[in-house]
Structure 1
Amino acid sequence: MSTYVHDFPFDPAHGRTLDELLRIPAPGAPDDFEAFWRARYAAARAVATEPELGPVEEERDGVRIHGVTYTSVGGVRLGGWLALPVEGPARHGFVIGHGYGGRQEPGPDVPLPLPHSAAILPCVRGQGDRGRWEGIPEVSFEHVLHGIESRETYVIGDCVADLWCAASALGELVPELAEGDTPRLGYLGESFGGGLGALALPWEDRFGAAQLTVPTFGNHPLRLTLPCTGSGESVRAYHREHPEVTDVLRYFDAATAAARVERPTLVAAALFDPSVPPPGQFAVYNALGGVRELQVLSAGHFVHDGQAAETAELHANRRRFFGERLGA
C-alpha cells in the first residue's frame, strides 16, 4: 500500500514492503553479456576525446566551474561542465551523471562530495543543450526508444560510452588524478544517471567507488509489468507492439550489470516512486557483487514532507562513504 496521498492511477510502491524489495533478484545474463560490454568499453577507451576547456562560468563551493567539450564514440562531440578546485591540485575526481532531460547547469551536483576535488558533469548524447545531437530525440519518452531495435544501435549503450569518455576527458584535463596506484575517481548518478552508472561500472577500473540514487533500468522483465510515469512506460508501450525487444533489453539491465560490480557502491533506493518503480531500484542494490551500502528513501521523484532531511542525510552519507573509499 502507498504511504502517500496521490492521484496516480497505480500504486507507486507496487505493493512491496521493504523486506520484499530486498529479495528481488537480478535477471540472468545473456551468454555474451560480458563480451558485448567489454568490446564497447574497449572502443570507448580507444577514442581520442580531445577535451577543450572553456572559460570560468561561475565560482562557488570551493571550485571554479568551466564549460567543457569532448569527443565520444562515433565522433559525437558533447558538452558539459568541469569543476576544478580553487586552491591546490585535485586530490579526487568525480564523473557525475544526470537524470533524464539532461542538465542545463551544474545545479545541486555542486558542492562536490569531497573537498579538493575535480569533477566532470557531462551531458550524454541527446540530453540537454550541451548534449544535443542531430537525429537523437531529446524528450525522454522518445530518447529511451532510440535505436532500441538492436543492441548495437540502442542509444543507451552509447550513453554509457559517453560516461567512459567523460572519465577519459577528466583524466586528460586533470592529469594528477592518474598519479599513484589507488583509483581516485568516484562515480555519482541519479535516476537515468544511476542506471547508466550501473551499466558502466563493471568494466571500468578507474573508479574506486560509486553512489547511485534511485537507479533506473533494473530488472527489465519485472519493469515491463509495472506502470510508471517515467521513460519505462514508453518502453512498456513499445514492448506491447514489439515483444521481441526483450532480447535487446537483456543487454541493458542495470541489475544484471550490478552483479558484476566489484567496487564499493552506495545505493539510495526509494520505497515509493512514480517514475522509477522501486522493485527495479532494489534489484540493482540486491545484485551488487562487491561492498555495498543502502540508504532507504521514503520516496523518489515525488515531493514529500521530510524530503529535505533525507536529502541532507544522503549528502552526509555520500561524503562519509567517498571519504572512506577514496581518502579524505
Structure 2
Amino acid sequence: MPRFAHDLPFDPAHGHTPEALLAVPAPPAPPGFDDFWRARRAAARRIDPRPRVGAFVEERDGVRVHEVTYASTSGRCGGWLALPADGRPARHGFVIGHGYGGRDTAGDALPLPLPGSAALLPCMTGMPTRSLRADVPAHSAEHVLHGIGSRDTYVLGDCVADLWCAASALLELLPELDGRGLGYLGESFGGGLGALALPWDERFAAALLTVPTFGNHPLRLTLPSTGSGESVRGYAREHPEVVDVLAYYDAATAATRLRLPVLAACALFDPAVPPPGQFAVHNALAGPHTLHLLDAGHFAHPGEAEERRRLRAATDTFFARHLR
C-alpha cells in the first residue's frame, strides 16, 4: 500500500488493503432499477440533439477543436467537438466525461486514444463552463444535492442523459461513425456517470472509468471525504430517507449490468472519492474488464506524472483492442 504524508483528518485509504478492496460488493438493485433507467434512456432517445458547431478553438494533438452545443433532456448543453485535423472522415468516436467541477477546455482530454478519432466533450447540466444554468447550482457540493429528494428530479439523471444525447449529437454530426461502436472515457464524476449510462446504450463498445464515484452508496455514506460525497453524507444525516433515492444512482449496482469491455483505473488512496467505492464499481462489472491500479487519485504525489503516462498508454492499448 502506498504511504503519503497528509494533514487530512481521516485515512484516504479507509483502512482497506488491496485484498479488501477487491472484495467490496455492489448493493442490490432497488425495485424497478432496470425499468427506471430504460425509461430514462428512452426519453433521451426521443430527443433531437440538433447539434450546432460553433467557433474554432485550436488545433493540437491531431485534432481541430470547435465549440459545440446540443439538446439534452433538460435543455441545451455546451462542450467541445474534436475532429481529425487532416479533414478525413473519423475512424473512431469518443464521448468524454469530466470530473466534478466541469471543464473549461478540451485540452486535458487530448490526445485522443486512437489516431483518426473524433470526440464530443460535453459539460454536464449546470456545470462550468459551457452548461451553466441559473436554476442549477454550479458548485459540486451543491450540484450533487440538486433535486435529490426524488429519483425523478435528481440532477444526476439529467447528467447521465447528457452523455446519451452527446452520443446522439456526435453521430448526427459524423454519420460515418454510425455502427462503429463508440468509446467512452470518464474520470471521477464522469467515471460514475459512465457506469450509470453505459449499460443502457448499445452504441458504446468500450469504456475507460477512472477513479469512478457513486459506487456503493451505503458504504460511501460511512466514509469521510473531501469530495461531493461529503455533501451527500451531511444531507443523509438530516434526511435518512435519501438512501432510497441514492439506490437508483449507485454506479456499482449499475456496473452489474455493464457488459461491454471496461478498463477500470482505481486508486488505493484517494481523499475525494473513497477507494472502496471505486473498487465496488470495478468488482461489479459484468463484462470483460481490466483493473489498472493507481497509487493515488485526487492527490498530488511523487510519481503522479509517470502514473498518468502509464494510464494513457494502457488506455491507448485498450481501445486499440476493443474499437473496430
Name the SS for the 1:130 alignment partner: coil
Work out whether 1:84 is the aligned partner of 2:108: no
1:140 aligned partner: 140
How many percent of aligned residue pairs carry the same amino acid? 66
Unaligned runs of 5+ in 1: none
TM-score (norm: length of structure 2)? 0.98
CA distance in 1, matches of 2:310, 2:279: 19
Alignment of 1:159-308 (within 5 A): 159-178=159-178, 180=179, 183-308=180-305
Unaligned runs of 5+ in 2: none
CA distance in 2, matches of 1:173, 1:66: 13
**Alpha-carbon deviations, 1:132-166, whole Å to 9, x = none?**
01210000000000000000000001100011000
The letter of the residue matching 2:269 is F
The letter of the residue matching 2:12 is P
The letter of the residue matching 1:279 is P
The letter of the residue matching 1:64 is R
2:310 aligned partner: 313
2:192–2:251 contact (8 Å) kept in structure 1: yes
The letter of the residue matching 2:270 is D
Q: Shift in Å at residue 54 of structure 1?
A: 1.0
Q: Shift in Å at residue 184 of structure 1?
A: 2.6
CA distance in 1, matches of 2:134, 2:125: 9
CA distance 1:2–1:10, change in 2 (3 Å): farther
TM-score (norm: length of structure 1)? 0.97
1:66 aligned partner: 66
The runs of at least 4 consecutive aligned structure 1 residues that moved more than 6 Å come to none
CA distance in 2, matches of 1:98, 1:3: 28
The letter of the residue matching 2:280 is A
1:2–1:11 contact (8 Å) kept in structure 2: no
CA distance in 1, matches of 2:297, 2:214: 15
2:2–2:295 contact (8 Å) kept in structure 1: no
**Alpha-carbon deviations, 1:84-129, whole Å to 9, x = none?**
0012110000000000110001122011011000000000111112
1:43 aligned partner: 43
Q: Shift in Å at residue 57 of structure 1?
A: 0.9
RMSD between aligned alpha carbons?
0.9
2:116 aligned partner: 116
Q: Shift in Å at residue 31 of structure 1?
A: 2.1
1:94–1:120 contact (8 Å) kept in structure 2: yes
The answer to which of 255-264 and 49-58 deviates more is 49-58
1:96–1:189 contact (8 Å) kept in structure 2: yes
Q: Shift in Å at residue 3 of structure 1?
A: 1.2
Aligned residues: 323
